């Protein structure tokens, strides 16, 4: 047995050593981990950094990220915890029937970060001013509230997560404030809830927090219909005529499952896709959308590119413009007044989980640009 | 550098051991010395020089132990070593308390720049003292070469968290362990190391997160009784699996190098009395205290009050050894109190009880002691203990992970209650494994090691408790 013990012992040492080789030369291709993390800094080795201990401290933290096969080891750890203890990562809630929820979506449903009513009313007043200005210029304006999975189907949450809505919450406060205006609002929470008896859990992918492709289709349909209401048939339409289930997935369907960083594939349900009929007449629509990732989701639909003009703009959280090829430009380099003037519609879109910062400061920036333009 | 870090597991271990086995035998001690110096310098680069300097002084002083002034030089060396420990470990505590007293009496407080605690100072100071006393007593001849002496003190497996390896236990292997560097020891050492790593990473760390949430709660007043019990139980098992896991790793690494370090734990939670507990918990510290403090104070040769005072003194020092804080002192007093009670009458009372009841009672006493040990202040400890016994008003929600880990912790802690389990444990861990046992050990290593590396990579929480001491 001596040979076995020796082979095994030195085999283990060699395997450990392989992690150094992998860190240096990447001999085996590994899928990178999903999610964002900051690579710790390190400092060059010198007498000063060594004797102050700075090099050692920083390098120890740095090596944890640098080590070979790190993604595989982390996936192994996550898989072990997931299979054995039904545990995931901190911001992902593992619910019954393989449903995943993002914590913030559930949190906002439960009143997390609820803004004072006066603050919300003040923000809505600014949105009303924006809407009035745009419509005077002939540009339709609408607000879209994306659907919140936790609000739509809290019944899959486990017992330790509250399933009842907690008041006040931003969703209800904004709805109430928007109700007293003439702003066009499409509330997809309500749209989804109205469809729930027929569609059930299919409206959301079990492995993601964003809406299904069907929900995206409905959103696109709503935007184009509203943009087209003044000059029917002048813009190409995208009508949702039906739906179908398929085992394929869009990247956003897996956003939460990917974040679990498991070794084995996460169990997936079939996903709901829209049957979209594209209009044959009219030109493509120039959409100027400001909002969260629920609009970015639309980039995953092939039909979107058939109806959305490349001259459109999407300002992600009013911070950076995201082009159709997903490249970004800081919005400070752009003029919202000019863009709005050349758009067929302006949309501010947010899901419930982002309503605490809604409308992302856009009306304020818009009027600032407008004031600057008026100055000689 | 800590054992349960990827830098140690994936870089230090393979490089150190491949070179260690690759170099000629006469160079192995030099390589072990270089590796140990690097290991210590990674955490305390400047203090390494203080450590080397103090070992050099010990080396020179130990040369005088055949002279007529040997007693004087022994005292000089003891004062130097205890002085170093006192300065680095207790100076802050002393000044803090002095200033508190001065402040209470309206005097101006002392100006003081806090001293950083060098890692492992309590452990290697006791080893240094053990060397000096063993050589002085003639138990073993002194080491001829400084590099051997230095290696004994800074040998990396036991340098920063024990076990406290006394000179006479390792003297032969320091000079000649050619026969001990073999396939069996390498394999058994690796197995022991991985078992220790698993205890630390898969059990202690998990329970540690839970215990910290209770003991570090922002608003302790709002923590309910059930949660405090939960925290106390988690910490009771955390400290055992953390510390015994570290000892297993140290013993395993030593064995891979051809050294046989003393055992530090022997199923302490099955003890039937506090006296027995201290024969099973941190055995190397208990033995050190017995041989270098309790026996010189008079040991069992003295009777009556003097005996009890001596016992209590040893335990107060033992408490203080764990850290410069009043909670540790009170923890020592607490254990000393039960030890004295057992000498007075409690042991006779225990003899009349069923053994399982004695075990449960001892575990309960130990658990309450850990609340004292873990609390930041005496007030917090008293508050927690008080609340534990003033009505159960709810507790935390316990999940599957907790139940699985606590069940494993419970089983591994208490299985030695079953007759012959200790014999079986001994055979499994220490005897040369036959084919089937070798294969079982290989499977265990192949499961635990990747899981541990994964757990270390996947969680930032990885502190060792005993580094504080």
**A115 lies in some domain:** yes
Residue A197 lies in a domain: yes
Q: Do B442 and A67 touch (CB under 8 A)?
A: no
A374 near B CB under 8 A: no
Is residue B1 situated within a structural domain?
A: no
In a domain, B58, yes or no: yes
- Domain end, chosen from B150, B176, B202, is at B176
**Same domain? A219 vs A343:** yes
Domain limit, last residue, from B176, B192, B215: B176
The whole-number average pLDDT for the span A24-39 is: 82
Q: Is residue A79 part of a domain?
A: no
Tell me whether residue B357 is in a domain.
yes
Shared-domain flag, residues B260 and B151:
no
Residues B168 and B189 in one domain: no
Q: How confident is the model at residue A91 (pLDDT cuts 50, 70, 90)?
A: confident
Q: Are A137 and A243 within one domain?
A: yes
Active site residues of B: 322
What the block records as the tokens of B467 is: 């580094």
Nearest residue to B188 via CA among B244, B283, B241, B254: B254
Calpha distance B122→B322 (Å, rounded): 8
Does residue A82 lie within any of the structural domains? no
**A55 and A34 Cβ atoms separated by less than 8 Å:** no
Whether B315 and B209 map to the same domain: the answer is yes
Share of chain A above pLDDT 70, in %: 99
For residue A83, is it within any domain? no
Please indicate, yes or no, if residue A359 is contained in any of the structural domains: yes
The answer to whether residues A13 and A101 belong to one domain is no
User: What tokens were used for B133?
Assistant: 């006393």
Q: Are residues A128 and A195 in the same domain?
A: yes
Q: A145 and A53, same structural domain?
A: no
CA angle B329, B334, B338 (to 5 degrees): 145
The answer to whether residue A1 neighbours chain B at the CB level (below 8 Å) is yes
> Domain count of chain B?
2
Question: Quick check: A73 and B458 CB within 8 A?
Answer: yes
Instruction: Judge if B140 and B220 occupy the same domain.
Output: no
- pLDDT at res. B461: 39
User: How many angstroms separate the CA atoms of B294 and B311, rounded?
Assistant: 7
Q: What pLDDT is stored for residue B105 in this prediction?
A: 82
Q: Is the dihedral of CA B260, B265, B271, B274 positive or negative?
A: positive
Is A186 in the same domain as A335?
yes
Does residue A85 sit at the B interface (CB-CB below 8 Å)? yes
Sites in chain B below the pLDDT cut of 50: 461-469
CA distance B221 to chain A (A): 24
A31/A131 same-domain check? no
Q: What are phi and psi of A102, to 5 degrees?
A: -85, 135
Structure-model confidence comparison of residues A169 and B104, the more confident one: A169
Strand partners, A291: A316, A349
Per-residue model confidence (pLDDT) at position B33: 96
Using DSSP's 3-state secondary structure scheme, residue B462 falls into coil
Diameter over CA atoms, chain A = 92
B7 and A78 within 8 Å at the Cβ level: the answer is no
Are B112 and B191 in a shared domain? no
Strand partners for A273: A244
Residue B283 lies in a domain: yes
Domain extent for B31: 6-176
C-alpha span between A184 and A182 (Å, rounded): 6
Spatial distance between the Cα atoms of B7 and B19, rounded to a whole number of angstroms: 17
Considering only CB atoms, which chain A residues are within 8 Å of B459? 77
Neighboring chain B residues of A67 at a CB cutoff of 8 Å: 6, 10, 457
Q: Do A31 and A162 share a domain, yes or no?
A: no
The distance from CA A314 to its chain's CA centroid, rounded to whole angstroms, is 14
Q: What total number of domains does chain A contain?
A: 2
Under the banding of pLDDT at 50, 70 and 90, the label for residue A376 is low
Does residue B153 lie within any of the structural domains? yes
Report the C-alpha dihedral over residues B288, B294, B300, B304, rounded to 10 degrees.
-150
CA dist A139 and A366 (Å) reads 14
Residue B255 lies in a domain: yes
Is A164 part of a structural domain of the chain? yes
Residue B192 lies in a domain: yes
Q: Which of A1, A5, A77 sits opposite B455 (nearest CB)?
A: A77
Asked if residue B204 and residue B270 are part of one domain, the reply reads yes
pLDDT tens per residue, range A289-315: 999 999 999 999 999 999 999 888 999
Task: Read off the tokens for A174.
Answer: 């904004």
Name the residue facing A50 among B9, B45, B433 (closest C-beta).
B45
Query: Do A38 and A112 lie in a common domain?
Result: no
In sequence order, what are the beta bridge partners of A275? A242
pLDDT, residue A312, reads 86
**Domain match, B289 and B172 both:** no
How many CA atoms lie less than 13 Å away from A141 in the CB half-sphere?
A: 21
Q: Which is it for the CA torsion A314, A316, A321, A326, positive or negative?
A: negative
Please tell me which residue, A281 or A318, carries the higher pLDDT value. A318
* B244 within domain boundaries: yes
- The residue range of the domain holding A150 is 92-374
B149 and B245 share a domain? Answer: no
Domain boundary among A11, A37, A72: A72
Tell me which residue of B290, B289, B361 sits closest to B126, measured CA to CA. B289
Q: Looking at the domain assignment, is residue A110 inside a domain? A: yes
Residue A50's H or E segment, with its range, is helix A47-51
| Inter-chain CB proximity A68 and B10 less than 8 Å | yes
């Amino acid at each position: 047995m001596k040979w076995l013990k020796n082979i095994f012992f030195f085999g283990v040492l060699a395997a450990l050593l392989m992690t150094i080789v992998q860190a240096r030369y990447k001999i085996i291709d590994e899928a990178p981990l999903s999610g964002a993390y900051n690579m710790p800094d390190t400092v060059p080795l010198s007498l000063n950094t060594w004797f102050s201990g700075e090099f050692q401290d920083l390098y120890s933290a740095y090596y944890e990220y640098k080590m070979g096969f790190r993604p595989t080891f982390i996936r192994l750890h996550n898989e072990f915890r997931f299979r054995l203890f039904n545990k995931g990562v901190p911001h992902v809630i593992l619910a019954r029937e393989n449903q995943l929820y993002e914590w913030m979506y559930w949190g906002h449903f439960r009143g997390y970060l609820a803004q004072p009513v006066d603050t919300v009313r003040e923000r809505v007043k600014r949105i009303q001013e924006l809407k009035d200005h745009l419509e005077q210029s002939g540009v339709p304006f609408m607000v879209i509230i994306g659907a919140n999975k936790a609000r739509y189907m809290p019944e899959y949450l486990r017992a330790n997560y509250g399933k009842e809505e907690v008041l006040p919450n931003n969703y209800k406060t904004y709805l109430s404030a928007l109700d007293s205006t003439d702003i066009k609002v499409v509330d997809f929470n309500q749209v989804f809830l109205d469809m729930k008896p027929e569609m059930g859990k299919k409206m959301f992918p079990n492995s993601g927090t964003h809406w299904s492709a069907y929900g995206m289709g409905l959103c696109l349909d709503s935007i184009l219909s509203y943009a087209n209401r003044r000059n029917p048939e002048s813009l190409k339409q995208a009508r949702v005529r039906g739906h179908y289930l398929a085992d394929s997935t869009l990247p956003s369907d897996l956003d939460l499952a990917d974040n679990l960083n498991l070794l084995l594939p996460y169990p997936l349900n079939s996903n709901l896709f829209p049957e979209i009929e594209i209009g044959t007449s009219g030109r493509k629509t120039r959409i100027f959308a400001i909002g969260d990732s629920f609009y970015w989701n639309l980039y995953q639909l092939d039909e979107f590119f058939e109806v959305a003009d490349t001259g459109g703009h999407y300002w992600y959280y009013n911070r950076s413009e995201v082009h159709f090829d997903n490249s970004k430009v800081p919005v400070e380099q752009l003029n919202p007044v000019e863009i709005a003037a050349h758009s067929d519609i302006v949309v501010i879109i947010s899901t419930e989980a982002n309503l605490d910062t809604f409308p992302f400061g856009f009306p304020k920036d818009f009027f600032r640009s407008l004031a600057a333009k008026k100055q000689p | 550098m800590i054992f349960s870090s990827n830098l140690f597991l994936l870089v230090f271990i393979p490089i150190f051991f491949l070179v260690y086995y690759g170099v000629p035998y006469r160079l192995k001690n030099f390589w072990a010395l270089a590796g140990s110096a690097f290991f210590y310098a990674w955490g305390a680069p400047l203090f390494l020089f203080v450590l080397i300097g103090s070992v050099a002084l010990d080396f020179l002083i130990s040369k005088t132990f055949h002279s007529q002034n040997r007693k004087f030089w022994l005292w000089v060396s003891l004062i130097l070593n205890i002085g170093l420990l006192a300065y680095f470990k207790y100076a802050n505590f002393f000044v803090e308390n002095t200033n508190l007293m001065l402040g209470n009496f309206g005097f101006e407080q002392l100006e003081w720049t806090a001293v950083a605690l060098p890692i492992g100072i309590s452990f290697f100071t006791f080893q240094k003292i053990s060397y000096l006393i063993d050589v002085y007593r003639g138990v073993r001849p002194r080491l001829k070469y400084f590099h051997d002496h230095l290696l004994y003190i800074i040998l990396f497996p036991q340098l920063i968290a024990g076990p406290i390896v006394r000179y006479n236990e390792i003297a032969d292997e320091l000079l000649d362990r050619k026969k001990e560097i073999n396939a069996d020891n390498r394999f058994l050492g690796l197995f022991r190391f991985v078992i220790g790593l698993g205890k630390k990473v898969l059990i202690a760390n998990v329970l540690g997160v839970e215990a910290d949430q209770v003991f570090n709660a922002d608003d302790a007043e709002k923590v309910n009784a059930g949660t405090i019990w939960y925290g106390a139980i988690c910490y009771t098992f955390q400290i055992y699996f953390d510390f015994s896991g570290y000892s297993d790793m140290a013993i395993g690494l030593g064995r891979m190098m051809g050294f046989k370090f003393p055992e530090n734990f022997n199923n302490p939670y099955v003890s039937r009395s506090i006296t027995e507990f201290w024969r099973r918990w941190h055995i190397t510290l208990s033995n050190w205290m017995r041989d270098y403090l309790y026996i010189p104070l008079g040991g069992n040769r003295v009777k009556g009050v003097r005996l009890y005072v001596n016992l209590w003194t040893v335990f107060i020092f033992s408490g203080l050894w764990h850290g410069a804080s009043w909670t540790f002192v009170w923890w020592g007093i607490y254990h000393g109190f039960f030890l004295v009670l057992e000498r007075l009458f409690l042991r006779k009372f225990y003899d009349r009880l069923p053994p399982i009841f004695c075990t449960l009672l001892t575990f309960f006493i130990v658990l309450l002691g850990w609340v004292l040990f873990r609390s930041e202040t005496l007030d917090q400890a008293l508050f927690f203990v008080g609340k534990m016994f003033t009505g159960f008003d709810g507790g935390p929600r316990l999940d599957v992970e907790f139940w699985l880990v606590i069940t494993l912790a419970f089983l591994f802690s208490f299985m030695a209650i079953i007759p012959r389990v200790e014999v079986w444990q001994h055979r499994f861990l220490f005897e040369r494994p036959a084919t089937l046992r070798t294969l079982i050990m290989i499977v265990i290593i192949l499961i635990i090691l990747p899981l541990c590396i994964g757990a270390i990579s996947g969680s930032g929480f990885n502190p060792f408790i005993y580094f504080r001491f």
